[in-house]
Amino acid sequence: MSIREAISALTLQGSETEVMHAASRIFAALIAAGRLSETNQDEMVEFSVRAAVDLARQTDIAIQSEGEALGMSALSD
């Protein structure tokens, strides 16, 4: 499969796109820090995606907790 075909086969939802953007920034930081090599590229990509997903989950938990603490669920009724 060519790169063009691989790209056209991608279909990301909104939240997946946001996680991909965060992962790309994490990956860029790893490159800037000199942590990327030919032998660990796959590992660093996986690390970046996992870190971005963890950040998204923690953000979601924090926002839900904050909303509950402020009584936001009662306001939506």
Q: pTM for the complete prediction? A: 0.76
**Is 6 within a domain?**
no
Q: How large is the average pLDDT for residues 13-25?
A: 95
Number of domains in the chain: 1
Burial of 20 (0-12, 13-18, 19+ CB in 10 A): middle
**Is 7 within a domain?**
no
**Is 37 within a domain?**
yes
pLDDT tens-place string over residues 24-62: 999 999 999 999 999 999 999 999 999 999 999 999 998
The parent domain of residue 32 ranges over 12-75
